[in-house]
């Protein structure tokens, strides 16, 4: 059986599970579908330009969410909002969220770090946590963005009385 050229990376924290990988192509999308099935992925977030037809994913019961943003930039608010919705829904369902960019080293790991920070992890610990699973993830400008990233408000479970 053929294997992926670059293995995916599983990042977990509590009930949150993320699978980071590089961008599939039409010729190898079926391999990514199999990996997604193995990790109980029901949602794939594509933060780069489309490089494959999503039919194989859809036929496997996997929804592809297009939240593209330009390489070398920080995720805009609409991307973060869409991402948070997918992550929140997956957490409720107990499923893994897969996310990919072109190489799986920049935009996709940044998205995972934002969720880790939103869950209460310090920014540098979030980056370190992702890098343990995804070596060479996150460049200098992305690191600067994450250092200054502010945790999402309104998503906590605490009540002030």
The yes-or-no verdict on residue 152 having pLDDT over 90 is: no
The confidence band for 137, taking pLDDT boundaries of 50, 70 and 90, is: confident
Structural domains for the chain: 9-146 (3.90.190.10)
Active site residues per annotation? 71, 101
Task: Determine the average pLDDT of the residues in 28-50.
Answer: 94
Task: Return the pLDDT at 156.
Answer: 46
3-state secondary structure of 38: helix
The confidence band for 109, taking pLDDT boundaries of 50, 70 and 90, is: very high
Task: Return the pLDDT at 100.
Answer: 92
The yes-or-no verdict on residue 145 having pLDDT over 80 is: yes
The yes-or-no verdict on residue 53 having pLDDT over 90 is: yes
Q: Which long-range contacts (CB under 8 A, 24 or more apart) does 57-63 make?
A: 57/29, 57/32, 57/33, 60/33, 60/36, 62/33, 62/36, 62/98
3-17, 37-51, 95-109 — most confident range? 37-51
**Whole-number Å distance between alpha carbons of 11 and 111:** 12
133 close to 10: Cβ distance less than 8 angstroms? yes
């Amino acid at each position: 059986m053929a294997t992926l050229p670059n293995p995916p990376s599983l990042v977990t924290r509590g009930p949150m599970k993320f699978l980071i990988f590089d961008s599939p192509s039409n010729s190898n999308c079926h391999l990514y579908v199999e990996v997604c099935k193995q990790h109980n992925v029901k949602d794939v977030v594509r933060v780069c330009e489309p490089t494959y037809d999503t039919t194989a994913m859809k036929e496997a019961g996997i929804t592809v969410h297009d939240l593209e943003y330009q390489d070398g930039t920080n995720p805009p608010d609409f991307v973060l909002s869409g991402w948070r919705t997918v992550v929140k829904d997956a957490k409720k369902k107990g499923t893994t969220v897969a996310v990919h960019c072109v190489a799986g080293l920049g935009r996709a790991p940044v998205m995972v770090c934002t969720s880790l920070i939103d869950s209460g992890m310090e920014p540098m610990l979030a980056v370190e946590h992702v890098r343990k699973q995804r070596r060479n993830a996150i460049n200098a400008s992305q690191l600067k963005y994450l250092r200054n990233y502010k945790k999402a408000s309104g998503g906590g479970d605490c009540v002030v009385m």
